[in-house]
Amino acid sequence: MSSYPHPIIAREGWPFLAIAVIASVAVNGWAGFWWASPLWVTTLFILQFFRDPPRTIPQDPKVVLSPADGRIVAVERTEDPYLKREALKMSVFMNVFNAHSNRSPVDGEIRGTWYFPGKFVNAELSKASLENERSVLWIRTPGGADVTCVQVAGLIARRILCYAKAGQQLARGERYGFIRFGSRVDVYLPLAAVPRASVGDRVYATESVLAALP
């Protein structure tokens, strides 16, 4: 997977933004600004939703970075349903005003990927982790730690995009996917991992630390 540059607006949003701008300009020219104003508001919403800012990566190689912008909604000991182990689960909920690029929380090799169709209940609810549509990455770090990173669709989200494939290497902070319009990302870590974030904390993809690996 080639590295993805950060042109400020995510490539997934270019078609939506182009359509919105063309429609806004056309109605503005034909009927005037006030008739076109709802379209301009929609254009601004699309612009902010698909923003894809560059981020600074923390230097400590043992920390687990947030894979998404949003708010921590879960920090708990539970079963990792994909690797069948006890794990520390940390979940980040993204609302429609967060940037929605997803980035790798650790350095490592992708050992497996899974996709599960499912429902579209509110992604802020705990049951969304196992009931909603989701895409899963199993990443093994150079130190041998297994990290499971799960993109979960939400109430409005209808498209999970994951570009990573089994056998590829991911670097911390590397962009690997996108979820459209509100969702969550679950991260399952070894039980020995030490949380560095708490429920309710605001986090930012790549820049915020979720936990430290042993």
Q: What is the pLDDT of residue 1?
A: 42
Kindly compute the dihedral angle of the four CA atoms of residues 37, 23, 11, 98, in this order, to the nearest 10 degrees: 20
Stretch 84-99: mean pLDDT: 91
Amino acid sitting at position 133: E
User: pLDDT of 162-181, one tens digit each?
Assistant: 999 999 999 999 999 988 76
| Spatial separation of the C-alpha atoms in residues 74 and 80, rounded to whole Å | 14
Which class in CATH covers the domain with range 63-212? mainly beta
Nearest CA to 73 out of 97, 89, 86 is that of: 89
Highest mean pLDDT range out of 23-27, 118-122, 183-187, 194-198? 194-198
Q: How does residue 113 score in pLDDT terms, banded at 50, 70 and 90? A: very high
| Spatial separation of the C-alpha atoms in residues 50 and 154, rounded to whole Å | 17
DSSP 7-40: -EE-GGGHHHHHHHHHHHHHHHHHH-HHHHHHHH
| Spatial separation of the C-alpha atoms in residues 163 and 57, rounded to whole Å | 21
Active site residues: 183
Residue percentage of the chain with pLDDT more than 70: 91
Q: How much is the pTM?
A: 0.85
